[in-house]
Amino acid sequence: MATRLLINSKPYENRIALLEKNTLLEIHLERPAEKGLVGNIYRGRVVRVLPGMQAAFVDIGLQRTGFLYVDDVHIEHNEIDRRATKQYQGCNVRPLAGSPDGEVIARCDAHPSIKDLLHEGQEILVQISKEPIGTKGARLTCHITLPCRNLVFMPLTDHIGISRKIIDEDVRQRLRETIEQLRPEGTGFIVRTVAENISNEELEADMEFLLVLWDEITAVSSRVKVPSLVHRDLDMVLRSVRDLFTEDVEELIIDSQPVYERLSSFVQTFAPHLIGKITYYDKSTPLFDAYGIEGDINRAIDRKVWLRSGGYIIIETTEALSVIDVNTGSYVGKNDLAETIFKTNMEAVREIAYQLRLRNIGGIIIIDFIDMDSEAHREQLYITFQEAMQSDKNRVNILKLSEFGLVQMTRKRSCQSLDQMICEPCFYCGGEGKIKSRRSVCYEIFRKISREEKTIGGYNVTIKVHPQVADMLLTEETEHVERLERESGKRFTILPVPDMHRKRYEIIWNE
């Protein structure tokens, strides 16, 4: 399968595009002015403990304090009352998200209260697991993970994991035994998918690198002021090589000579067998234009997405969740209504799976499919959707269709969506997506004049408004304007102001 990684690197922005058969699957952006924070490690100070939320706020030196949930507190790094510690003995475990390759780490289901683990003023080592999004601060964890090319190191967790995408049991057993022999006691490692066929020597080299890195982090942590950054994760260009540049990638193309050289040096060190797949792009046509990606990015932030059949989906995102609505649009089908609806829903399923990955939409997602009476159709839709989401690297959980034709799902969110990275709230509507209608503004002006005309002197009244509102006052609303002139005994002059916001106006009372 022809898969390419394209890297468009400029001093002000890096953009990474993952293509499969010339179709854009993923787009990642990083800007120096808005550099990503996930993976960074900080020495922070607890500023507030909230027993009612079983969480704490931690100052790590950013604009907003980070949020640390009780499950993400590492108890061995804190002074814990002995009674609280006993609650962990003999408890059941439950799975939590682990490595980028989908390995699941089990943690204890029972835990002491957050107030038994943390107190205000306490200094702790934390890592950002989710970017600050909207008004929310960064999500933090004390369970540090350090990814490398083939391994993910968990210095504070006694665990060995193998990527779920490695399905050969003999290979899994070999890798597990190798890690068991090499790892220091009490530490944890997850073997990533790309390590399926590597040698024990390569695994040992990665492990040694990660152990040295952790020693450096702990040494820096012991001497920095609090709060402070202790370790910064790789920038996006190098992370793309570490996480996306696998054997399946046919070619990596980059259009910046300095970044090409830095990237080549990195690959020569950590994945020398891939060095021959890296190409420097120096043609006059911009790289993303040559592959048609600019248009794809612009379409990826549109609210409406058309389906080939003539149907369409609407994607709306709020702070708490995202909603996707499926509509038949201009598609009328050939046979009967049930078949038309089923075909539209089935086409929408594949498009939705694609859009979720492309736009990097995470959190809670509600999908409103067109109602189907056939139970067989509903079951087939659910199965198809699950299959379509299997290629998504983010962890997803999909519930079956409800009685109202809704699918509820979650998709792991660790950073902002494409829409949040590229767009900002409209300064006209404040992000609401709506502004007052022209007629509403006209009537607001009428009410204001009626309130003030008895207390403010002057015969001539100048009304400054947006040209569209002026047009309505002078045409559709002229009858009401003339009536208000008669009732108030004033003479109105309506003055269009092109650069005035449409919902704004100014009333000037003249002698």
CATH number of the CATH domain containing 278: 3.30.420.60
Whether 216 and 248 share a structural domain: no
Whether 209 and 246 share a structural domain: no
Task: Report which residue type is found at 41.
Answer: I
**What pLDDT is recorded for position 24?**
92
Task: Report the chain (511 residues): mean pLDDT per 10 consecutive residues.
Answer: 86 90 90 80 94 93 92 63 39 44 49 86 93 83 91 92 88 92 91 87 89 93 92 88 85 94 89 90 91 89 89 88 88 73 92 93 93 90 93 90 90 83 78 84 91 81 95 94 90 94 90 67
Whether 172 and 273 share a structural domain: no
Give the closest residue to 57 by CA, choosing from 137, 131, 130, 113.
137
Whether 416 and 506 share a structural domain: no
Give the number of other Cβ atoms within 10 Å of residue 33's Cβ.
6
- Is 97 inside any structural domain? yes
Rounded CA separation 337/339 (Å) = 5
Whether 211 and 66 share a structural domain: yes
- Is 328 inside any structural domain? yes
Give the closest residue to 429 by CA, choosing from 324, 320, 507, 504.
504
Whether 81 and 196 share a structural domain: yes
Whether 80 and 215 share a structural domain: yes
Whether 455 and 306 share a structural domain: no
**What pLDDT is recorded for position 100?**
52
Domain edge (last residue) among 207, 231, 255: 231
Domain residues for 479? 438-510
**What pLDDT is recorded for position 104?**
46
Whether 59 and 74 share a structural domain: yes
Domain edge (last residue) among 187, 203, 231: 231
**What pLDDT is recorded for position 348?**
93
**What pLDDT is recorded for position 196?**
86
**What pLDDT is recorded for position 109?**
47
**What pLDDT is recorded for position 332?**
64
- Is 264 inside any structural domain? yes
Whether 124 and 216 share a structural domain: yes
Contacts 24+ apart (CB under 8 A), 246-249: 246/193, 246/194, 247/194, 247/274, 248/1, 248/3, 249/3, 249/4, 249/5, 249/274, 249/277
- Is 128 inside any structural domain? yes
Question: How many domains does the structure of the chain reveal?
Answer: 4
Task: Report which residue type is found at 188.
Answer: G
- Is 430 inside any structural domain? no
CATH code of the domain containing 206: 2.40.50.140
Domain edge (last residue) among 185, 213, 231: 231
Contacts 24+ apart (CB under 8 A), 53-56: 54/113, 54/114, 55/114, 56/114, 56/118
Q: For residue 145, give both structure tokens.
A: 């993970």
Non-local CB neighbours of 104 within 8 Å, separated by 6+ positions: 95, 96, 97, 98, 161, 164
Whether 366 and 397 share a structural domain: yes
Whether 207 and 270 share a structural domain: no
Give the closest residue to 44 by CA, choosing from 225, 218, 269.
225
**What pLDDT is recorded for position 92?**
40
**What pLDDT is recorded for position 259?**
92
- Is 464 inside any structural domain? yes
**What pLDDT is recorded for position 75?**
63
